[in-house]
Amino acid sequence: MITNYKKIDVIYRFMSVKGVGFVQTNRLIISTRQFDSIDYIESEIKKTIGESQFSEFINGDSALDSLKRKFDVKFLSLYEDSYPENLKRALKINTPPVLSYIGNLELLEKKKVAFSGSRKVSEKGINITQEITKLLVEKDISIVSGYAKGVDFEAHRMALKNGGTTIIVLPEGINSFSIKKELDEEWDWNRVLVISEFKPDEKWMASRAMQRNNTIIGLSDVVVVVEAGETGGSLDAGLKTLEFKKHLFVPEYGIIPESALGNSLLLRKGAFPIKMSRETLKPNIAKLFEFLESKNQLF
């Protein structure tokens, strides 16, 4: 029987062949998922890419040889039943063929709200992130974000500080992951899941950060963009959320900080506004809870 590790190695080597992307890889996985023979899978690869590129596949280095064992890294591929269905529904043929992960995979089964926002978030944006995160954690909703400084980090930190759960989606390979010292005291692997859609040794690139946004959105039930610039990753995340027809929530500022100049564009395009409650002076996310509850996604 082929081990999961061996199948993952074959998938990674296939993806390393020049010109092969997610679409071809996913088709291969779907067409061979019922077969437990490496010879059969390799024969299908040969049919797919031809003789010359097949030699590139056969002679390619194993991406798993570079896997660092600092943490207990595991893998989940599209052929497995436990692969997140919401990610497949959202991204379709562009679904990542393999997810490497560390931590509690059961967090994928929880209700999830994603956070995105400026690395240079304003003080008001930090406060909004903290308050919304606390409200979500009280309802046992998991926080999803990208581990960058600013909004991402603050969402993860507040989730852990308040006893909640969080999912970190990396813009690079799993080898690059380390626990940030500011999170050491609150860290609990039962309440954390770290995911990467990239080969273990792949480094950060702007294009990978943008690609990773798709996975954050696909995994989540709702997306909150706290502060989006006029260009950049947070604005892209908001626009993609609307494109994927998922519910997007964006704070509505009175005096707009420079780091949130893109918020108004997202609101014009259909994002739900998050306003400050007159009674509590805190963000009012009743609409967000209302949406989740109406879909039988909460309580």
Question: What Rg value do the Cα atoms of the chain yield, rounded?
Answer: 20
The two three-digit tokens of residue 134, written as one number:
């606390």
Which pLDDT score, from 0 to 100, does residue 299 have? 33
User: Residue ranges of the chain with pLDDT lower than 70?
Assistant: 1-3, 280-281, 295-299
Sheet with 112-116, side-by-side order of all strands: 74-77, 98-103, 192-196, 166-169, 142-145, 112-116, 222-225, 247-251, 272-276, 283-284
Which pLDDT score, from 0 to 100, does residue 3 have? 66
Give the C-alpha separation, 254 to 149, whole Å: 24
The hierarchical CATH code for the domain 103-294 is 3.40.50.450
Q: Residue with structure tokens 């600013």?
A: 150
pLDDT tens digit string along 201-222? Answer: 999 999 999 999 999 999 999 9
Which pLDDT score, from 0 to 100, does residue 282 have? 84
Which pLDDT score, from 0 to 100, does residue 125 have? 94
Beta-bridge partner residues of 192: 166
Which pLDDT score, from 0 to 100, does residue 297 have? 41
Which pLDDT score, from 0 to 100, does residue 296 have? 47
